[in-house]
């Protein structure tokens, strides 16, 4: 079953220096029925104005995946480490207890747009504190993150597979799912998501969809599409 969630239904914030859209409860936005989905705790799309930053903060034990859609971000931690990521890159932070992290738009002229996911991390597993990967602009399908770093993907501390999909109008792609739950996110573009048990759902730019008890999902693009399929067996 596929159940869509429109971008208009998501939580929103506008602080001047930050504009944000929240898929699940986050910050001031609270919905007791949307506290996350399986091990996916947070899925935010945020725009930071030039030179804006998030002040240092600590995290629960989560992997924080930042997908840079436009601009350049720098991430710093309280242990003196820092790393930057540019448009077309994804950066994974394996957050640690008692370590604080900050995020900066290091451009004084351009906004920073990025998507951020938090995924529950297994308490018994430790990974590299920071991982980074570039998404080739010509790649129709890329395994972006996985539990074992397969195919050069970012390695998560959880049984989750994240697929990055780029489709031209009229193109289709089927993604096999390993578990009973997945979440589909349209980053931009309009698409139809179909599973064997129903006719499908139309997703427009920024829309998402819950996928339950399906072995695969097929995406067909109406316009140029960029999307994530987040496979959540646990």
Measured distance CA(203)–CA(4) in Å, rounded:
7
> What is the domain extent for residue 99?
2-231
- Phi–psi pair at 151, nearest 5 degrees: 60, 30
Beta bridge mates, 42: 118
Question: pLDDT band at residue 179, thresholds of 50, 70 and 90?
Answer: confident
Question: pLDDT band at residue 52, thresholds of 50, 70 and 90?
Answer: very high
Question: pLDDT band at residue 197, thresholds of 50, 70 and 90?
Answer: low
Confidence at residue 124, expressed as pLDDT on a 0 to 100 scale: 83
What is the CATH classification number for the domain harbouring 156? 2.60.120.10
Confidence at residue 125, expressed as pLDDT on a 0 to 100 scale: 87
CA distances to 38, 49, 78, 141, 191 from 35, rounded to whole Å, are 9, 28, 28, 29, 26
Measured distance CA(121)–CA(95) in Å, rounded:
9
Confidence at residue 196, expressed as pLDDT on a 0 to 100 scale: 78
- Report the percentage of the chain scoring pLDDT > 70: 99
- Give the model confidence (pLDDT) of 59-99 as tens digits: 999 999 999 999 999 999 999 999 999 999 999 999 998 99
- Give the model confidence (pLDDT) of 117-135 as tens digits: 999 999 888 899 999 999 9
- Phi–psi pair at 59, nearest 5 degrees: -125, 155
CA distances to 5, 99, 103, 170 from 46, rounded to whole Å, are 18, 23, 12, 29
Count: domains in the chain? 1
């Amino acid at each position: 079953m596929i159940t869509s969630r429109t971008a208009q239904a998501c939580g929103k914030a506008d602080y001047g220096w930050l504009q944000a859209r929240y898929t699940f409860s986050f910050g001031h936005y609270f919905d007791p029925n949307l506290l996350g989905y399986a091990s996916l705790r947070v899925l935010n799309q945020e725009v930071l104005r030039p030179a804006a930053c998030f002040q240092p903060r600590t995290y629960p034990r989560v992997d924080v995946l930042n997908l840079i859609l436009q601009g350049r971000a720098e991430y710093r931690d309280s242990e003196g480490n820092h790393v930057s990521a540019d448009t077309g890159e994804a950066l994974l932070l394996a957050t640690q207890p008692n370590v604080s992290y900050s995020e900066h738009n290091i451009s004084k002229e351009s906004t920073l747009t990025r998507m951020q996911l938090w995924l529950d991390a297994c308490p018994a597993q430790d990974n590299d504190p920071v991982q980074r990967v570039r998404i080739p602009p010509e790649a129709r399908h890329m395994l972006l993150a996985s539990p074992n770093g397969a195919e050069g993907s970012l390695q998560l501390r959880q049984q989750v597979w994240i697929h990055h999909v780029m489709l031209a109008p009229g193109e289709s792609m089927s993604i096999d799912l390993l578990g009973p739950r997945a979440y589909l996110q349209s980053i931009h573009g309009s698409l139809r998501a179909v599973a064997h048990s129903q006719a499908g759902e139309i997703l427009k730019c920024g829309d998402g969809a819950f996928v339950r008890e399906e072995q695969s999902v097929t995406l067909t693009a109406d316009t140029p599409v960029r999307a994530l399929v987040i496979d959540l067996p646990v």
